[in-house]
Structure 1
C-alpha cells in the first residue's frame, strides 16, 4: 500500500508537470506565430527548451523529495497510509469541493474555447471566400487568405490566454498569477491588434493609390498625383513606425517598472509626423513652383531655359528652409530650446565663413552667372582655361556652388562655379554649322557652289532648326589632290553638331549624283 501511495503522489507531480509544459508550449506557439517575432525564432526555441529543462528538473527534484520523504517516514516506522489520510483530513472539506468545481470549470472553459475556435475558423473561411468573390481577382486570393489566417491566429491566441486566466481564477490560484496573466493578455492583444492594423493600413493605402491613379485626369487636382506618387513608400514607412511606436508605448505602460518610459511615445510620433509633413510640404511646394513657372504653354526657348535654370535654385532654397524648420520643430518637441544652439551655430558659421573663401567665391560666381546670363540650363557651352582641361556639353543644372554639364559622349561633368573660367556659349541667338567639303582641282567651282547652295536651301525648307541657307565661305585650303571648301549654315543655338552631320551626308550624296568625285583625304587614308 505504501508503494501505491508513493506512485500516486509521483504520478500527480508528473501530471502537473505535463500540464504546465503543455501551457508553456501553447504560449510559445502563439509567440512564434507573431510576425514581429519570427526573425527571433531561434532565440524563442532556445528559451522554450530552457524553460522545459527547468520544469523537468523541478519535476525530478519534486519526485525525489517525495520518495525521500516517504522513505524517511517508513524508516521511522510510520504507517504511510494513516499518515497520508491524517494529512488529508487536516485540509478543510470545502477545499476539495472548490478544487473539484474549479477543475470542472477549467475543463469546461477549455472545451468552450475549442468549440468557439471551430466556429470562428468556419466563419472566417466563409468571410475569406466572400471577400475573394467580391474582389473577383485571383491575383489577390493569396493575400486575402494570409490576412484571414493571421486574424484567426491572433483571435485564437487571445481566446486561449483568456481561458488560462479564467482557469487560474477557477482554481483559486494566488492573485499575482491572475495579475501577470492579465498583463500578458493585454500585451498580446496590443501586439496582435497592432499587426492587424498594420496590414489594414497598408491595404487601405494601396487601395487609395489605385483609385487615385484610376480617376486622375488633366481636368482635376489628381493630375498632380502621378508626380507625388513616389511619396507612397515613404508614407507606408512612416505609418509603420507610428504603429510600432504606439504598440511599444502601450506595451511599456503595462509594465509598472518601466511605465515612465512610455511618455516618450507621443513625442516620437510627433517627430515622425514632422518629418513626413516636411517632406510632403517640400514636394508640394516644389510642384507648385514648377506649375507656376511652366503654366504658360507659349513660352519661348529662352524663357524655358531661364525657368529651368531657376527651378533647381528654388528647390535648393526650399529644401534648406523646410528642413531647417523641421529641425527647429523637432527640438521644440523634445523640449529643447533652439535659441542657444542657433546662437552657437551663428558664431561657428562666422568662423567657418572666414576660412571658407572658396565656398563663398563659388556661390558669388554662381549668382553672377545667373544675373549676367552667361549661360542657362540647356545651353551648349565650353568652359575652362586653355592650359587646363576644357569642359564642354549641355548644361543640366546651375546650383549654388557647382554647374553640371553633360558631355556629348554622356559623361556628367561637375565644375565649381569659381573655376568655370572663360566660357564659350554655343546657344546664344544663333550659331554656324561649319562643314568643309573637298573637291578635285578640275571641278567646276561655280557648279559645285550652286549644288551646295541648292542642297542647303532645301535643308532650310525641311528642317526648322536651320535659320538660313548654306553659304560658301570660299576655298579654305589647297591640298595635294583637292580643294577644301568651307561652308557656313546658320542654325538655332546648340544644333550645330546635329546639322553638321546631316550636311556632310547630303553634300556627299548631292555631289556624287552630279558626278563630282570627293577625294579621300590623306589623313583619312592613313587611318
Structure 2
C-alpha cells in the first residue's frame, strides 16, 4: 500500500502544482498569520482596557474578547473561501435562510441573547456585584450575552440563562445597612445599657472606616419573655455591612463584660401552691 502511494506521489507534477496554487497557498498563509496577529493585538488592547479595575471594564472584557474573536475568524474564513473562487453571495443567502429556520427552533437561545444585550445596555449589574436572581444569590463572576454566572458564599457556581432573569436585586449599588439587635436582661438598668451602647457607637464610628453614617442606637424595638431588644443601625459602604455587624457585636460583648452586665438567657418561672415563688433557668427541674 505504501509503495502504491509513493508511486502516485512521484507521478505528481509538483512544479506545475506549485506554480498553479503556490500563490494561493501563500495568500492563505498570509491571511492566517494576519488573523492571528489581529487576535493577539485585540486581546492585548482589551486587557489593557480591563486593567482599570472597574466593574464595568471587567464585565465587558470577556464579552469583547469573544466578539473580536468571532469577527476576525469570520473575516478570515470569508477571505480564504474567496481564494478558492467560492462566491460569497450564495453562501450568505443560504446562511440567511438557514438562520430563519434555526431561529424558529432556537427561540429560547434568541431570548437569552436579547435579554443579555439589554442587561449590558442598561447596566443592571456588573462583574463583582452581589445580586439576587430568583432563589439564587451570589457574586457575579461573568455576564455574557447568553448566561450569567454567580458564585455564592458556599463556593457553588450558578449558571443562569439570561432569558430566565425576570427580577434582579443588586445589593452592591448604594450604601448597605448594618443592623444589630442587643438583648438586655430585665434585671439590668436599661437606661444605663443604652448610654453605654451610645458611647460605644461613637467610638466605633471613629474606628471603622467602612461606616458612613452612625451607628445609631434606635432604642427598644421589642420586649420578649426574658429580655428587651435594643437595636443599633449604621450605614456602611457597599457589601461591608456583614463585617461591620460582626465588629459591633464583638465590641458590645467585650464592653458589657467589662461593665458587669450579663447577656440574657432563656428562663421560666414556676409557681407552686403553698411555697415561695422560685425562678429557675430553662432546662433545670
Could you tell me the TM-score, scaled by structure 2's length? 0.77
Unaligned runs of 5+ in 2: 1-5, 268-281
1:6-25 matches, within 5 Å, as none
Match of 2:56 in 1: 306
The structure in which a higher percent of residues are helix is 1
Asked if structure 2 preserves the Cα contact closer than 8 Å seen for 1:452 and 1:470, the reply is no
Q: 2:35 aligns with which of 242, 265, 278?
A: 278
CA distance in 1, matches of 2:25, 2:261: 81
- Is 2:116 the partner of 1:371? no
Aligned to 2:179, the other structure's residue is in SS state strand
* Pairwise CA distance, 1:400: 0.6
- Shift in CA distance, 433/348, structure 1 to aligned 2, threshold 3 Å: same
Structure 2 counterparts to residues 194-273 of structure 1, below 5 A: 256-260=10-14, 263=18
Q: How does 1:154-169 map to 2 (within 5 A)?
A: none
Residue 458 (str. 1) matches residue 203 (str. 2): yes
**Residues 1:498 and 2:239 are matched in the alignment:** no
Cα gap change, 1:375 to 1:328, in 2 (>3 Å)? same
User: What residue in structure 1 maps to residue 95 of structure 2?
Assistant: 345
Match for 2:173 among 422, 428, 431?
428
Q: Which structure has the larger Rg over C-alpha atoms?
A: 1
Shift of the alpha carbon at 1:272? 6.0
| CA–CA separation in structure 2 for the residues paired with 1:279 and 1:502 | 53
Alpha carbons of 1:271 and 1:480: their partners in 2 closer, same or farther (altered >3 Å)?
A: farther
Structure 2: distance between partners of 1:421 and 1:479: 40
The CA distance in 2 between the partners of 1:474 and 1:334, in whole Å, is 82
Q: Aligned in 2, Cα 1:442/1:368: closer, same or farther, shift over 3 Å?
A: farther
Aligned equivalent of 1:446, options 165, 184, 191: 191
Compared CA separation, residues 380 and 456, structure 1 to 2 (3 A): farther
Gaps of 5+ in 1: 1-251, 385-389
**1:291 corresponds to 2:48:** yes
Query: Relative contact order, CA 8 A, sep 6+: which one is greater?
Result: 2
CA offsets, 1:86-135, max 9 Å, x none?
xxxxxxxxxxxxxxxxxxxxxxxxxxxxxxxxxxxxxxxxxxxxxxxxxx
- Greater share of strand residues, 1 or 2? 2
Q: Deviations over 1:187-244 (max 9, x none)?
A: xxxxxxxxxxxxxxxxxxxxxxxxxxxxxxxxxxxxxxxxxxxxxxxxxxxxxxxxxx
Q: Which residue of 2 aligns with 1:354?
A: 104
Q: Please, which of 480, 494, 514 is the counterpart of residue 259 of structure 2?
A: 514
Q: For the structure 1 residues 439 and 267, does the alpha-carbon distance in structure 2 shift closer, same or farther, using more than 3 Å as the test? A: farther
Q: What is the TM-score with the length of structure 1 in the denominator?
A: 0.44
- Asked whether the 8 Å contact 2:194–2:219 carries over to 1, the reply is no
Alpha carbon RMSD of aligned pairs, Å? 3.3
For 2:266 and 2:87, how far apart are their aligned partners in 1?
77
Q: Distance in 2 between matches of 1:321 and 1:356?
A: 22
CA deviation after TM superposition for structure 1 residue 311, in Å: 2.3
Is 1:305–1:376's contact at 8 Å kept on the other side of the alignment?
A: yes
Pair 461,358 (structure 1): closer, same or farther in 2 beyond 3 Å: same
Q: Is the 8 A contact 2:43 2:65 kept in 1?
A: yes
Mapped to 2, the partners of 1:485 and 1:517 lie a distance apart of 15
2:217 is the alignment partner of 1:472: yes
Aligned to 2:273: none
State the Cα distance separating 1:351 from its structure 2 match.
1.7
1:277–1:484 Cα change, 3 Å: farther
Task: Single out whichever of 400-409 and 505-514 deviates more from structure 2.
Answer: 505-514
Cα distance in 2 for partners of 1:495, 1:465 equals 7
Aligned 1:45-124 pairs, distance under 5 A: none
Indicate whether 1:404 and 2:149 are aligned.
Answer: yes
After superposition, the C-alpha distances for 1:264-293 in whole angstroms (9 at most, x for unaligned) are 788677656645543442232132134346
Counterparts in 2 of 1:377 and 1:335: CA distance versus 1, 3 Å: same
Instruction: Report deviation, 1:369.
Output: 2.3
Distance 1:453 1:259 in 2: 96
- Which stretch of structure 1 is more off in the superposition, 405-414 or 335-344? 335-344
